[in-house]
Amino acid sequence: MSEPRYSIGIDLGTTHCALSYVDFAGSDGEKTTQDVLPITQLTAPATIDDLPLLPSFLYLPHPSELAPFDLGLPWTGGRDFAVGEMARSRGAATPIRLVSSAKSWLCHPGVDRRAAILPNDAPPEVTRVSPLETSIRYLTHLREAWDHAHPDAPFGEQEITVTIPASFDPAARELTAEAAQTAGYTGMTLLEEPQAALYSWIQKSNGQWRKQVRVGDIILVVDVGGGTTDLSLIAVIEREGNLELHRVAVGEHILLGGDNMDLALAHVVARKLAALGTQPDPWQLRALTYACRSAKETLLSDATVDTVPLVVPSRGAKLIGGSIRTELTRAELTQTILDGFFPQVESAARPVSRARVGLTQLGLPYAQDAAITRHLAAFLGRQVAALAELEGLQAMQPEGASFLHPTAVLFNGGVFKSPLLVERIMQTLNGWLAAEGAAPARLLEGADLDLAVARGAAYYGYVKRGKGVRIRGGIARAFYIAVESAMPAVPGLEPPVQALCVAPFGMEEGTEAELPAQEFGLVVGEPVHFRFFGSSVRRQDQVGTLLDYWTPDELQELEEIEATLPPEGRSPGEVVPVKLHARVTEAGTLELEAIPRGTGERWKVEFDVRGNAGV
Amino acid sequence: MTDSNVSFLGRISLAVGTFFSILGDGEFAARVQRLRSGAPLAETAAPTRAAPAAAPAPAPAPAPQPAAPALKQASPDAALQLLGLLQRDARFIDFVEEDVTAYSDADIGAAARVVHNGCRTVLREHFTIRPVRDEAEGSRVTLPEGFDATAIRLTGNVVGKAPFTGSISHRGWRVEDVRLPKLAASHDTAVIAPAEVEL
């Protein structure tokens, strides 16, 4: 493989994908030559256009729905599906054949991510695809679009970085890496999206970032995408005279984003229409959602506008006679978006979670509480001790703080184009800080809200080669497996379990954990399941630490892991003692191995992604 | 011309003499032909020797006439494609084809928002359009000799020589970039909006 010419960054988003690249030859130090690839895609049948973003939608057409060549791309005629803009627009009228939010399905612990389950409301006749396969198709399209545009610099020979939410669990990370591998991405690295956003901000500052942050700063990254909200804390420390960035904490996975806001507004307006006797049909509701999005953007960016007229066009050719006319007022927007998604709450507020009603429909586990500020309060509260382990920063937090005090905030995601929303979060956060006598946090300006993640990912591939500042931090969780206590069984009670730490917090890419002392008996030829836990707060546990007790807030149960010892050289049914060993790959995934006693063998332990975890 | 009315016998004599003169003298025959076709008499009277020389170059032109410009037929594909985009994003054909007489201005205005919004999307997405002149409308400008007459149209009191000074009444528009989507060769562009059948 020849030396890469470009560092390619790919934002594999819930609603949009983007590709940015840094030219190694044209970059030196903190000055980089960077571009965004216009992605060649179908925008309508037989129509090819280059757009800056690839909408993350997959459309599975009926065989007689399209003419031959309607799905052809400049590099292939052999596709029987469409991704991108055509999929999005065509699927709006035929949702039973549209796959959307594949990324949210990819990290949904309740379903089998390798099984063909999408679109989840499709009739049996439609050939479904798996969340994994959908991601493979988006990634493949991006690779092919690159190769078409750069025949002289094949994709496979470049430095590739793919972004994931910081809150992705090890199984979702591994699935993303597997999708990339299958799509022909060799030597790919995963990067957390909030980190990518910060890299992009550093890159855009052309070296000026050192003047905007100082040692001891705690940067809160608030990334609200189309479908997810991702929170991270990054500390600025000094090591050997240089500023260093250290990612100290990441938030929970919150399925809540800009699309939820548009939908919420559309329902408000639909209710208003219904009160006047007009009942929008599903097609009109979608058009209304679309109209609400641009009305929202107008109201949120211009404080002098009080109402924005909304028109839902008729479906038929009678445009004037058949259109529905209504409006979105500032009061409705304030009530729905500002008070619904960004309410001014106390720092002690926590997201409300309702008990799920007995029979929930199998769908995406959307956040039950839409208030992003409450999720933020919970995150900062949970991470109050996040700096305790970090040298030089312990003294930065006041005694008795009830939440971790950030000193600077970086926003990412299209919804923050609105100064009103930025202001609302800053106000709320600074209110919390003032209540504890802390100085207000600063806003880090100049972020590129739409393309920051892709741009930051490309820049990361560049700094990885020693060309600039890197964000350290390693894995943002410690991982545990459940061990049954050696206690006499009590009828009617589950035997109590202990949690054994197998991977400590902060393991860096390309490192291995020590071998724990504990051994487990694996039955040869039979899959053995372990309950698996992660903790985003227990930073002090080492490999081998055994927990007898933990609060639900400390340890979250993840999907089970599964080890199977192949019967080679052993007799099936034999019990072999093994140790569990963790390592973090260069790509950024966690790998667990079972190592039998006294041999050099290593058996991979799989994350169970079939959706039978303790849901 | 003393005899304005020739007698019958005189006419017989003239006819017979003329008959043979026409047969024998080509030039005379030509003059008779011109006389019979009602051409002005003065020309008949003019010396006939110069006439053949003048005939090949009729109107004496000051310069040779420029060749007629080659005409190009615009490809209908691009026009149809644009119509398709305007219909898809702006419901342009629906709007123009609808009879507006029965509707109130408010109804038409509501539909016009859809059309305006969509047309703007199409224009911004597929064209880069900038004013020809960056000055504000109403400001005075001077046009040097040899200015681009395609890009700037003089109106009003157009006299004298360049440089011309006047005020901008319209800044003009120039398309700097066209980014129309590519189409598969087999695609029928005449269908600018397919009929939709909901199953």
pLDDT of residue A191: 94
pLDDT of residue B49: 46
pLDDT tens track for A275-293? 888 888 877 888 888 888 8
**Minimal Cα distance from A68: which residue of B?**
B186
Q: Which residues of B touch A311 (CB under 8 A)?
A: 110-111, 113-114
pLDDT at A588 over 90: no
Q: What is the mean pLDDT of residues A312-325?
A: 82
| B1 or A317: which leads in pLDDT | A317
Name residue A529's beta-bridge partners: A562
**Residues near A427 by Cβ (< 8 Å), separated by ≥ 6?**
A344
Q: How far is the C-alpha of A226 from the C-alpha of A12, rounded, in Å?
A: 12
pLDDT at B38 over 70: no
Task: Give the 3-state secondary structure of residue A82.
Answer: strand
Q: A466 near A432, Cβ under 8 Å?
A: no
Name residue A245's beta-bridge partners: A236, A471
Does the distance separating the beta carbons of B186 and A47 come in below 8 Å?
Answer: no
Q: Which is it for strands A6-12 and A159-164: parallel, antiparallel or unpaired?
A: parallel
pLDDT at A266 over 70: yes
The percent of residues above 70 in pLDDT, for chain A, comes to 94
Q: Which of A605, A611, A571, A610 is nearest to A589 (CA)?
A: A605
Show the beta-strand stretches assigned E in A536-574: 546-547, 556-563
Instruction: Choose the closest CB to B114 out of A47, A74, A319.
Output: A319
- Residues 279-338 on A with a CB inside 8 Å of B are 294, 309, 311, 313, 315, 317-321, 323, 325
Q: A270 near A290, Cβ under 8 Å?
A: no
Q: What is the mean pLDDT of residues A145-154?
A: 95
Tokens standing for residue A607: 């994350």
Q: Which residues of B touch A45 (CB under 8 A)?
A: 187
Burial class (CB in 10 A: 0-12, 13-18, 19+), A510: exposed
pLDDT confidence bin for A108, thresholds 50/70/90: confident
pLDDT tens track for A482-495? 887 666 666 666 66
Global ipTM: 0.73
- State pTM to two decimals: 0.82
Q: Which residues of A touch B196 (CB under 8 A)?
A: 93, 315
pLDDT of residue A354: 59
Local structure of residue A354 (DSSP, 8 states): P
Q: Dihedral sign, CA of B184, B187, B193, B197?
A: negative
pLDDT of residue B8: 63
pLDDT confidence bin for B46, thresholds 50/70/90: very low
Helix (H) / strand (E) element for A202: namely helix A193-204
Q: How far is the C-alpha of A122 from the C-alpha of A305, rounded, in Å?
A: 41
Q: Which of A587, A578, A586 is nearest to A605 (CA)?
A: A578
pLDDT of residue A605: 84
Distance of CA A38 to the CA centre of its chain: 23
Does the distance separating the beta carbons of B95 and A319 come in below 8 Å?
Answer: yes
pLDDT confidence bin for B37, thresholds 50/70/90: low
Instruction: Choose the closest CB to A47 out of B98, B114, B183.
Output: B183
**Minimal Cα distance from B181: which residue of A?**
A49
Does the distance separating the beta carbons of A47 and B181 come in below 8 Å?
Answer: yes
Q: What is the mean pLDDT of residues B34-43?
A: 58
Tokens standing for residue B106: 């408010």
Q: How far is the C-alpha of B29 from the C-alpha of B40, rounded, in Å?
A: 16
Instruction: Choose the closest CB to B107 out of A43, A294, A320.
Output: A320
